[in-house]
Amino acid sequence: KMDETMQNIRHKEISHKQKPMPLRSKNLPSKHAGVIPHGSSDYGSETALDNPDLGPFLLKVARDLIISGDNPYKALECASRAAESFDRCSDGKPSIEFVMSLHILAAIHCSLEQFEEAIPVLERSIRVPVMDDEPEYALAAFA
């Protein structure tokens, strides 16, 4: 009887390790389901990335997805699109928002154990700031 109990415990430990428990129930509606910033019919389209409201919106969605543990891959997608939107809307000038979105993107890659993908993102975030302009850019380089 004792051997059978130990086998059941080991089986539960193994099966628990194989599939992580979700932090949030998948049946709950997402806070941002169906919410798209004004003027963007499709937040994933290339032309929508030129909307200056899209970057902050997508970064907030990514942050909320990370906090809820809902879907880290969707958070990664949102953070990536946010960074692309900030880059497009910056008109070639250094943007603190762009740098911070790259930091968030790299952090999500690391949380997904995608370290090889995180390194070039962090390297890019270091190259963006111009130290001569304002102190906040220098701070962003070392964040």
- pLDDT, tens only, 79-109: 999 999 998 887 777 788 888 899 999 999 9
The pLDDT of residue 93 is 76
The pLDDT of residue 42 is 47
User: Which of 93, 104, 85 shows the shortest CA–CA distance to 137?
Assistant: 93
pLDDT at 50 over 60: yes
Q: Tell me the C-alpha distance between 105 and 83, whole Å.
A: 8
User: Which of 101, 27, 107 shows the shortest CA–CA distance to 67?
Assistant: 107
pLDDT in tens, 2-44: 455 445 544 444 444 443 333 333 333 344 444 444 344 444 4
Secondary structure of the chain: what % helix, strand, coil (to 5)? 65, 0, 35
Structure-block tokens of residue 82: 């946010």
pLDDT at 57 over 80: yes
The pLDDT of residue 105 is 95
Please tell me whether the overall predicted TM-score, pTM, comes out greater than 0.75 for this model.
Answer: no
User: Residues 124-137: what's their mean pLDDT?
Assistant: 67
pLDDT in tens, 109-122: 999 999 999 999 99
Q: Tell me the C-alpha distance between 134 and 51, whole Å.
A: 25
Mean pLDDT of the chain: 71
The pLDDT of residue 97 is 87
CATH number assigned to the domain covering 48-143: 1.25.40
For 75, residues 6+ apart whose C-beta sits below 8 A from its C-beta are 61, 62, 63, 65, 66, 108
What number of CA atoms fall less than 13 Å from residue 22's CA on the CB side? Answer: 10
Contact 105, 80 (CB under 8 A): yes
